[in-house]
Structure 1
């Protein structure tokens, strides 16, 4: 690729393939900077080999993005798509209608692609980067930082030679600085090949929320939800692109649900009796406004909530927490006269750690059901931690964030 072609590619954000022999320091660099650049480029060669391991995944991402764009979105310029994706873009309604018309008969196919690839798109369009990518990006950033430090050093030398009016040295340092800047831009463009689809996915799914109708669903069809992260993904799959004004997870209050930035907690409770029969299986979303799953706990229910702080330090009554809704639902399922001798096993999975109020509610359930064994699990597979089996109400493991039942004020 010639210099003009490289400039066009850089301006468009296109990845520039680099030959191995191009990874060398610019000519006429001072020896100290040349050594630093050589070491940085050697690290980059090693990183390239690790990128190649991810190449099938990156190519799959490319195909998925092209497939979405081909459903009527590819003809729209990025400026229009970015305007549609802007938060509170009130003046973009005409553009949204125009883009929706251009999608036309492809609308059904576009929604089908979103449904089929929901989990992958969810991972791409969120700020959560997979560990293998995250580590590579971090190390690439380290190399780019070294190259920028070398640029700064050469720039200082260039200014010094200008003061001395050594024009031959000025030209030499100027060429080296320009070559070093060009090399840095090329490597930065290569780095963006790991993240370009994430930015594009975020843009496209936001646009799709504006131009596609919400799905109609029947909540009664969601059954047999395992109390685990897998069950959580099952819930997201079921409610994906459903109407947020009917099933509110706290991310949106209208339009299709997408689940890129869920702030509210989601919890799942599964209970089986001594014979292994399912007695209670439901999920809940924290909050009061049209949340799906288990209903709100009544004011005069069997459990007592308290005020507790959230992760942002805000203190409020936690009666509308997902875990509290589920534990109340379990209590109301079993008649009071059976609770003292009822033998069963329960698993409570929560996306977030239990607050003091919900941990206390578990303790209250244990006293109401002395023969009930409760297993508490928090988080995603890599961090998911079974806090403990809690027989006979004697203990509740903290997982670094929960208090022993005896220390809770409602005890």
Structure 2
């Protein structure tokens, strides 16, 4: 093909007049960048190269051409002696432009399609996982949209049915507990009124004490079974709450001390948190000696430690003691028989409802550490920054 182009160009130049050849050479160079023709003044052609065999019968009479540099350059003269030099520029091997464009288009299309397919598959799974993580018993569950592949739609449909069944069970349990609470407290109240008419003071005192224990046990059981720690969350100063709880125990003669940071804010229910920490301190008062409440602060959490110098809890029993109706060694304290095994369980339920964690650990030198970790409120950082 290149040789045919050379023959065509030389034939056109030889047939044209001397004044037209310059324009033809310029147009040739502009439209065929792989070649270049340079014309010079007419003269006598010098033959110092080889005459290409291909051109012998294809060029017009009188046109002389010689090949140089392994057929990459040709020189010669036309029939009237006009000299020329025709160079075939070296072309680097590579894909044609249209092939590169086509491959790029295919690659971009595959990338877009793969991204769309991945998002179409992962978005329903992400929504499914978020719904499972946020599922709770304190609100009406929202039904997930059944989208995505067939398997994901089937799993979403089953998850929605499970949410509805659980919500119905929780509603039935709430109604049942409300009825049980009423049915149990009513006879206790009647018995308390009748006890007031008993003449024997000793019998009356014992009966009223038993009724108080029965009412406390019923209240604790119902609160735990109700999961009844669903009050509205609000920002509160945990240090002030702990100080007030410790002061209440001091007022009734308990040796409770508070030591901690002055302010740390958390998001929670003041009543529920007060009850949780009261249970922990009450446990230390009953089973230990000289309980101390400590409040520590880290970058992300507020850590409360209720420390006592009592007999402690063996390591193998600590996790079990957080379960309902589990009681420690009844001989460890004269007040141990007053417990129902619900204090730690209720405290743990409240802490977990606040996205925290309750653990039991051994105190150096003997005793128990009840450690509560609660996430700090996000608004605290903003407040501190403004104060600075």
TM range (shorter): under 0.3
Q: What is the TM-score normalised by the length of structure 1?
A: 0.22
More strand by share: 2
Q: Decide which structure has the larger Cα Rg and report it.
A: 2
Structure 2 length-normalised TM: 0.23
